[in-house]
């Protein structure tokens, strides 16, 4: 697919044509349905890992049955498979009864949810990285505009390095732990 292709809100773009680890080029997007479609497509194809960095675990994206099924499938695909989620503020997600949190609770050895340490920079961005090669990234977490690629290992590695630095200084979320009581 061509570099810089913009997904139109009502377009007939078929993300099934994109292959994780093979389809090059950058996709632009600007709506929550496009975010969800990209999260679904990347997660469905991931075999080893998914890393999610989010401010509030957006309900419109991460509380979707099809996406949750894809995350679950990735998490249990292999003994070393992992889904990791860093969430800045989980209070609303916990209060709402977010299904991703419930899924993580049931698959705690494969899906882990943490909160970055208070000393970590408060980046106002959001991203999902699939198998260290595909990603979608929103530079401003409170907006739906961003870019995605199914095969850009260099950019995916940059995002993953930022994620790993925060993950290393993160801890289980106390709001999340209240669910176990």
- Residue 179 clears pLDDT 90, i.e. is over it: no
CB of 144 closer than 8 Å to CB of 32: yes
Task: Residue 135: give its domain's CATH number.
Answer: 3.30.870.10
pLDDT of residue 24 exceeding 50, the answer is yes
Residue 11 belongs to some domain of the structure: no
The answer to the question of residue 73 being in a domain is: yes
Comparison of pLDDT for 177 and 30, the residue scoring more: 30
Whether 180 has a pLDDT exceeding 50, the answer reads no
pLDDT at residue 177, as a whole number: 55
Query: Which tokens is 86 given?
Result: 């860093």
User: Residues 122-148: pLDDT tens digits?
Assistant: 678 999 999 999 999 999 999 999 999
Q: Which two tokens stand for residue 164?
A: 């790993």
Q: Is a pLDDT exceeding 80 seen at residue 19?
A: yes
Residue 9 belongs to some domain of the structure: no
Number of separate domains in the chain: 1
Selection from 45, 40, 37, 44 nearest residue 9 by Cα: 37
In a domain, 19, yes or no: no
Residues 71-98: tens digit of each pLDDT: 999 999 988 999 999 998 877 788 777 8
Range of the domain at 89: 31-180
Q: Return all residues near 43 (Cβ < 8 A) that are at least 6 apart.
A: 50, 67, 70, 71, 74, 128, 130
pLDDT exceeds 90 at position 150: yes
Q: What band does 176 get if pLDDT is binned at 50, 70 and 90? A: low
Mean pLDDT of the residues in the chain: 87
Rounded to two decimals, the pTM is: 0.88
pLDDT computed for residue 42 by the predictor:
97
More confident: 155 or 93 = 155
């Amino acid at each position: 697919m061509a570099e810089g292709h913009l997904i139109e809100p009502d377009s007939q773009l078929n993300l099934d044509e994109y292959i994780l680890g093979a389809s090059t080029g950058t996709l632009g997007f600007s709506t929550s349905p496009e975010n969800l479609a990209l999260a679904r497509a990347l997660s469905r194809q991931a075999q080893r890992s998914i890393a999610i960095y989010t401010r509030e675990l957006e309900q419109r994206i991460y509380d979707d049955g099809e996406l949750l099924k894809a995350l679950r499938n990735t998490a249990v695909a292999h003994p070393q498979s992992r889904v990791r989620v860093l969430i800045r503020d989980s209070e609303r997600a916990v209060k709402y009864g977010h299904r991703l949190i419930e899924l993580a609770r049931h698959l705690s050895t494969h899906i882990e949810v943490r909160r970055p340490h208070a000393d970590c920079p408060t980046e106002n961005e959001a991203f999902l990285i699939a198998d260290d090669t595909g990603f979608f990234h929103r530079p401003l977490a409170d907006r739906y505009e961003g870019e995605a690629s199914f095969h850009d290992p260099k950019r995916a590695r940059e995002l993953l390095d930022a994620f790993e630095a925060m993950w290393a200084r993160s801890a289980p979320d106390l709001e999340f732990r209240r669910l176990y009581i």
